Structure 1
């Protein structure tokens, strides 16, 4: 079993260089750089409150818990947003009025879990629902952030998860664990990093993702004014760390996407697509995108999904075959991708996943409201406010013809937290 570590807080890049390409039957692309980068040495930060270290067995999995309390919680109106399964990206209530069936569970407008009694009535519980999940596409770590700002992150030991210092004390609505430490988006729309400083934006940040961008730490953000901005930080400069801000022209944008080694894409406010690594698909009816090594998919406003292969340029060393992911007929509400799999949530709240070559990748049935993929992990928020994460194999050498089925990540992130 792969050894992992977990970090819980009560508040909640690989070196890149242009490569060369060649084709032989199946799509095959050759790296011009090393897939692995030596772990960055870092000094553990000072923990403001007590740490609890627990060994879970099965490969020596370790949990680090950091205690604290949030200044705002799920009863704070500023915490209420729309669930990705309904109309947005950053979590929120998915409850509806009416009778229920005994045993059902859902999250209400205060981000509390409600359960249905034998009499068919909803009863609120003390369980605080998960608000967002964040998966790092560079190292495959993953974080869950609850509606009260509490967050928990898990990552491979090689990511240095045990040693990372905590984020500044704020209320966070999304937290990501990266090779360079924790990064979080505060309730009031500011980005905070544990190990370096991110310049303040002129307007509130709506969402973000950190990934390796051309060998730099790349923090990509979408602002409330529709601007797509990248903050690039290089800690390995001979004269000391360097920082620069780079804006993506061509907006305003409604969605932005960054994937490792410099892949960027965005959906404009008018529904057209901007991309720096593929020819954008035609049309002005796009709602979301999913991209990673060897795949580029678009979700249109009519709920249909189409995928195509990026050109063989600087992206990877993979054999994916001539086929593409094809999803069953019907309407879908969101899409995401790992290095070898594309997943979508349909109108019945099912999570449907396909390998790049089109093969089915089953996940346990449940009602899902949002999902995020990266590296070889997909994490999702269920309708009852719990979370689930799944990992597939076939990534170490990017032999995507041998991607293995998903396996649930153990120990689970819920219940009990």
Structure 2
């Protein structure tokens, strides 16, 4: 046999195998598309009230989680949750765990498989959790890139990897006349006037009261609705009195961050909550109002504009009118108005030229904090201001209306099609399919109402990891993108990203709880373990737990370790037991790629992946050890911090002094000093180092957020893009 014949003989089965695999993949995708189209139907409401979320795996290239390289640069604004009517990333669209929350569907999944492995499923492989730390894929370089757990990605063998580019849209299968996007939730107004909200439920923002409304307006954490007889009723976050609506009849209402304003039928204004101006409102008769982050602007009946509050739009020199339309950015920094002669004027923050509107005639205008856009009379779109993410790369064609977020914009055509552009990090700049009748934009999300009445949202599916629930807790723990806590009655509550079911708490009574990447485990009073999430065994549908009595447990990455009564360790993942070190320990800490424990002689023993020196624990006696992603830290008997493993943004350069506790994540760490204050170091791209003042008695960190337990037993969390300014217990940065 010749060399060429031999090569053909060896190649033919491979080609046939690849062809068969490709055919199977195409059949699978066709089946998925068929199910999606069938479930979408004609857009009529679903009869079920149960949340239905079809989650899709993201690879590291398509992860929604921010990486170190994507952290906001110095001088850039943080991702503010303060929103006007059209504002906010929605958990909205993501978590819907409460009873009666919106039935949602992932309706737009685009899977582009590269280097498809023969015989592997198109999506299932991306859902697999690493079975033990010893099975991590070989790679070189900084763990921030090569060992990132930014997305479920264990589809590797023989040096090949599957990657997927998956975009998820959330569709609510009900008919709505209008929708309003809040800070981490969405509310819609049905044709019968009743309101339905979905998203984060941390402060009651989705608890819409029964009855009919004529309009609704959602702020950062609350919503106010106008009843058909003119009364205003509000629900949700109320730390500044923003939901304490006065009695009497109103013609319209607008919700901001910590305040709400209503317009009386006479044209007089009335505001409640903290509006940034000590409750003062200008005199005059108004025809419309627009509330945002600590600022309000209104159009007077003569067409002139008035702005008041504490943001830039209120402190700028106001242009002359008359105006017929007003747009206010979600952060209250920029306002734009459309005059009666169709020219546009903008004012407020102008660092990037966002308040320097071009000359000419427009039919619509929308203001963002860093750029603004308008629709020309001929239907062409023009944008001005910051242009680092393609904000000026406007689509061609004819459009009627436009909305602007933080770095992206979407325009609505006369035939109902939508074109989006700009920031693509969360797919918010991706143009959706379908025929729409209206749009509303948040910072990193856009929602629209289809001609069928169904609501569709795309972009950042806010997970609410930093929205700690109100109330007192005895203990708590964090995962990579979620957190859990145990109340005095031993019930557990979890919040945050729920990709693997890690926040779906079972009806157990628990003594303690801790989380990994996609799973959570708790310890029952009888010493048995309870675990949920983490892509459990497909046959049993449950997460493995050892059948023995335990005294304490720790979770991290894809595994959990616990101490038995004899102080020996046992470790497991979703599928079964994994290797644990022999001998006895006094405490353990489970990271992503390594775990560590304290021996009885106070020495540290670590096991797992040592490519970045994560197992090179210092010698000596220590009282606390904490394992992160590929780094660990420990406190010696004098409370001094030592760190080892992967260096990232100063993670191995801890603060000096004496501390009582320490916790380590992927790129940052926090320590608790003896006065109860929290000190953090490392990467601060999402505000995870911006700890509030204490005193606290415990601190634990997650992927890009941090949480601490106050001595009054309330929880506070911060980070995750600055959105923890809305965290529980009433703390926020005003």
Normalised to the residue count of structure 1, the TM-score between the two structures is 0.51
Match of 1:271 in 2: 342
Deviation (angstroms), 1:230: 5.2
Give the aligned length.
266
- 1:325 and 1:357 in contact (8 A); partners too: no
Match of 2:190 in 1: 146
- SS for the counterpart of 1:161 is coil
Deviation (angstroms), 1:269: 1.8
d(CA) in 2 for partners of 1:134, 1:269: 27
d(CA) in 2 for partners of 1:386, 1:185: 22
Matching residue within 314, 320, 324 for 1:254: 324
d(CA) in 1 for partners of 2:322, 2:339: 6
Match of 1:179 in 2: 220
Match of 1:98 in 2: none
- 2:407 and 2:422 in contact (8 A); partners too: yes
d(CA) in 2 for partners of 1:226, 1:332: 26
- 1:288 and 1:299 in contact (8 A); partners too: yes
Matching residue within 380, 384, 387 for 2:448: 380
Mark the CA change 1:280 to 1:325 in structure 2 (over 3 Å): closer, same or farther.
closer
Unaligned runs of 5+ in 1: 1-5, 7-26, 39-57, 66-126, 235-243, 311-319, 400-417
d(CA) in 2 for partners of 1:265, 1:293: 11
Matched, 1:30 2:66: no
- SS for the counterpart of 1:348 is coil
d(CA) in 2 for partners of 1:368, 1:189: 29
Match of 1:295 in 2: 371
- SS for the counterpart of 1:328 is coil
Deviation (angstroms), 1:208: 5.0
- SS for the counterpart of 2:410 is strand
Matching residue within 264, 274, 291 for 1:210: 291
d(CA) in 2 for partners of 1:247, 1:325: 26
Q: Give deviations 1:49-80, integer Å, cap 9, x for gaps.
A: xxxxxxxxx85711457xxxxxxxxxxxxxxx
Deviation (angstroms), 1:352: 0.8
d(CA) in 2 for partners of 1:395, 1:290: 27
Match of 2:136 in 1: none
Q: Give deviations 1:81-118, integer Å, cap 9, x for gaps.
A: xxxxxxxxxxxxxxxxxxxxxxxxxxxxxxxxxxxxxx
Matched, 1:133 2:179: yes
Match of 1:196 in 2: 244
- The answer to which structure has the higher strand fraction is 1
- 2:398 and 2:414 in contact (8 A); partners too: yes
- SS for the counterpart of 1:257 is strand
Deviation (angstroms), 1:257: 1.4
Equivalent runs, 1:159-174 vs 2, <5 Å: 160-161=204-205, 166=209, 171-173=213-215
- 1:304 and 1:331 in contact (8 A); partners too: yes
d(CA) in 1 for partners of 2:306, 2:341: 19
d(CA) in 2 for partners of 1:380, 1:135: 10
Match of 2:557 in 1: none
Deviation (angstroms), 1:323: 4.1
d(CA) in 1 for partners of 2:463, 2:407: 8
Deviation (angstroms), 1:129: 4.6
Normalised to the residue count of structure 2, the TM-score between the two structures is 0.31
d(CA) in 1 for partners of 2:337, 2:447: 22
Matched, 1:61 2:97: yes
d(CA) in 1 for partners of 2:463, 2:408: 11
d(CA) in 2 for partners of 1:187, 1:228: 28
- 1:186 and 1:192 in contact (8 A); partners too: yes
- 1:342 and 1:354 in contact (8 A); partners too: yes
Match of 1:346 in 2: 413
- 2:445 and 2:459 in contact (8 A); partners too: yes
Mark the CA change 1:369 to 1:199 in structure 2 (over 3 Å): closer, same or farther.
closer
d(CA) in 1 for partners of 2:428, 2:415: 18
Q: Give deviations 1:141-177, integer Å, cap 9, x for gaps.
A: 3221123321112232445425x6749x66323x133
d(CA) in 2 for partners of 1:287, 1:395: 36
Mark the CA change 1:367 to 1:203 in structure 2 (over 3 Å): closer, same or farther.
same
Q: Give deviations 1:238-259, integer Å, cap 9, x for gaps.
A: xxxxxx9x99663332211122
- SS for the counterpart of 1:62 is coil
Deviation (angstroms), 1:340: 2.9
Mark the CA change 1:185 to 1:59 in structure 2 (over 3 Å): closer, same or farther.
closer
d(CA) in 2 for partners of 1:282, 1:265: 12
CA RMSD of aligned residues (A): 4.5
Mark the CA change 1:249 to 1:360 in structure 2 (over 3 Å): closer, same or farther.
closer
Match of 1:89 in 2: none
Deviation (angstroms), 1:339: 1.7
d(CA) in 1 for partners of 2:81, 2:455: 30
Equivalent runs, 1:232-243 vs 2, <5 Å: none
d(CA) in 1 for partners of 2:339, 2:267: 18
- 1:292 and 1:337 in contact (8 A); partners too: yes
d(CA) in 2 for partners of 1:382, 1:361: 18
d(CA) in 2 for partners of 1:393, 1:219: 27
Whose RCO is larger (CA < 8 A, sep 6+)?
1
Q: Give deviations 1:122-157, integer Å, cap 9, x for gaps.
A: xxxxx9952222223xx2432211233211122324
d(CA) in 2 for partners of 1:247, 1:132: 34
Match of 2:150 in 1: none
- 1:185 and 1:208 in contact (8 A); partners too: no
Mark the CA change 1:64 to 1:286 in structure 2 (over 3 Å): closer, same or farther.
same
Mark the CA change 1:161 to 1:357 in structure 2 (over 3 Å): closer, same or farther.
closer
Deviation (angstroms), 1:343: 0.5
- The answer to which structure has the higher helix fraction is 2
Match of 1:68 in 2: none
Match of 1:367 in 2: 435
Mark the CA change 1:339 to 1:233 in structure 2 (over 3 Å): closer, same or farther.
closer
Unaligned runs of 5+ in 2: 1-48, 50-71, 83-93, 102-172, 236-242, 246-260, 269-285, 465-684, 688-734
Mark the CA change 1:228 to 1:385 in structure 2 (over 3 Å): closer, same or farther.
farther
Q: Give deviations 1:254-285, integer Å, cap 9, x for gaps.
A: 21112214322211222122222344323341
- SS for the counterpart of 1:298 is strand
